[in-house]
Structure 1
Amino acid sequence: MSLAQIQNARPETAIVLGSGLGGVAEAFGIECEVPYAEVPGLSASTVPGHAGRFVLARHHERPILIAQGRRHLYEGLSAAEVTAGIRFMHEIGVKRVVLTNAAGAIDEQFHVGGLMLITDHLNLQGTTPLLGGPNFHDMSEVYSRAWAEKFHAAAVEIGLKLHAGVYAGLLGPQYETPAEIRMLHRLGADAVGMSTVPEAIQARALGMEVAGISMLTNWAAGLRPQTLHHAEVVEVGKTASLYLARLLKAVM
């Protein structure tokens, strides 16, 4: 298990796995694992369902870097700190990254347990990893349309229903109120979560191609009578991981 082994492999594609989705890595041929703590500038997540390590995998002989888990703003970190992994990926040659997350479904045409391809996002987290200077970057197409077409084609090929919509990124760690969900719906959001947005901004600023996929683990607050629990998010993720792994392998 060596950081040098990952660096020397020079993977051009990376996947970031959100809450409960760590099992996706098992679908690929794993060569080595490196804890985030062994990478300068990174640290392990404090959130259940985030293993906190890089995995070097192979698919059709091509190296793929998989990040099992991420850090979040609500853990008390800055946007620059939570995107350190993206900058590390860029430094070792990664050109494209798939950002996955667990999210609450707002669009009632969707179904819980399904996947949503992110077409755009609402940054409602009050910060950005580009703070500190006049870092002006175009965000007209954060999520690659060309790559999105490949995801949709792959979903049809494997018989998987793939939703598409806008992801709203909030700070957390508390879940949203029903009033906030009604507001987000009016703003055009189809799903809501507490991650991904800073990483997408950082990746695009570095010229990386980005795709985003939300695992719809639950209905957003107020849409159904039940309360929200992180343990349920992780549990749904274990099942959704099977579908996500099939989709990623088809696209790769």
Structure 2
Amino acid sequence: MTAARAAADILHRAPGHRPRVGIVLGSGLGGIADRIAGSVAIPYGELPGFPVPSVSGHAGRLVVGTLGGVEVACMQGRVHAYEGNGFDALKTAVRSLKLAGCDTLVLTAAAGSLRLEVGPGRLMAISDHLNLLGSNPLTGPNDEAFGERFPSMTDAWDPELRALLKEVAADRGIDLAEGVYAAYPGPSFETPAEVRMMRLLGADAVGMSTVPECIVARHCGLRVVGCAVVTNLGVGLGDGPVDHHQTLTAASAAAADLERLLVGFLERLHQKDGSRS
């Protein structure tokens, strides 16, 4: 099993570490991995079956260490459906984090806001999702070793963990919105008509990732919490064109707030663990 070999390699390459929380950093957010203490960085290309990103803003390495007092395995970059390589590598990466010891997955992403009152630079806790990719990472034979054929997506984005995220944001003065994330196939940006459609369907933000990781994570029993960094208003809602350079620039500018939020979230998890021991 490729995921088992990757998990064994992770633990071998990072002796003394047993990650409890997996983190996936989206476009322009990879600098957060630099805060991880006692870190061991492993290029994706050196882990069996791991994805190798082809998009700028995604470093393509796994950083294992401690953040906020919690042992983490941080994916510094991800692959997307539009890169054309299917979901096998994504499944291997998420499942290897589970096998390496993680019980929670934190997903981050750059996204366009579909709400005028939630503009660039804001953070949005993900409460639910719309899978508009036209595909599902669990398509094909089911691997019973990880989960059942028809996993439930009710509360896929863990309400308890999201409440903790909101609690930390309030304590630290971080302006955290909340909403539904729509996964759009890309790589072209959405048309104004598609933005209007997604708003009618109940989406609050749109991006080209994140939902596949959530589906795979829930299938194998990981709890999931997510936060989108708003980099722009959806096409047709704001002034000027939308491009990837703008996405990276805006994500980098908001990364400080996301870092404070994630570190505080992990510290609060660490405190809760201590109170149970």
For normalisation by structure 2, the TM-score amounts to 0.87
Q: Indicate yes or no: 2:205 matched with 1:191.
A: yes
Q: How does 1:170-209 map to 2 (within 5 A)?
A: 170-209=184-223
Question: Which amino acid in the other structure matches residue 120 of structure 1?
Answer: D
**Cα-Cα RMSD:** 1.6
Question: How far apart, CA to CA, are the structure 2 residues paired with 1:3 and 1:119?
Answer: 32
Question: In the TM superposition, what whole-angstrom CA distance separates every residue of 1:176-209 from its partner, at most 9, and x where no partner exists?
Answer: 0000000000000000000011100000000100
Q: What stretches of structure 2 of length at least 5 have no aligned partner?
A: 1-8, 143-148, 267-277
* Aligned position for 1:100: 108
Q: CA deviation at 1:2?
A: 7.1
Question: In the TM superposition, what whole-angstrom CA distance separates every residue of 1:31-73 from its partner, at most 9, and x where no partner exists?
Answer: 2100000110013200000000000121354311111000111
* Aligned position for 1:16: 24
Q: How does 1:46-57 map to 2 (within 5 A)?
A: 46-57=54-65
Question: Which amino acid in the other structure matches residue 106 of structure 1?
Answer: L
1:62 aligns with one of 70, 86, 97: 70
Q: Provide the aligned length of Structure 1 versus Structure 2.
A: 252
Question: How far apart, CA to CA, are the structure 2 residues paired with 1:188 and 1:229?
Answer: 24
Percent identity over the alignment?
Answer: 40
1:155 aligns with one of 169, 189, 204: 169
Q: Indicate yes or no: 2:133 matched with 1:125.
A: yes
1:237 aligns with one of 237, 251, 261: 251
Residues 80 and 128, structure 1, Cα contact 8 Å, conserved in 2: no
Residues 2 and 32, structure 1, Cα contact 8 Å, conserved in 2: no
* Aligned position for 2:6: none
Question: Which amino acid in the other structure matches residue 50 of structure 2?
Answer: L
Question: Which amino acid in the other structure matches residue 152 of structure 1?
Answer: K
For normalisation by structure 1, the TM-score amounts to 0.96
SS in structure 1 opposite 2:14?
helix
2:237 aligns with one of 198, 223, 241: 223
Question: Which amino acid in the other structure matches residue 39 of structure 2?
Answer: E
Q: CA deviation at 1:163?
A: 0.4
Q: CA deviation at 1:79?
A: 2.4
Q: Aligned pair in 2 of structure 1 residues 140, 219: CA closer, same or farther (>3 Å)?
A: same
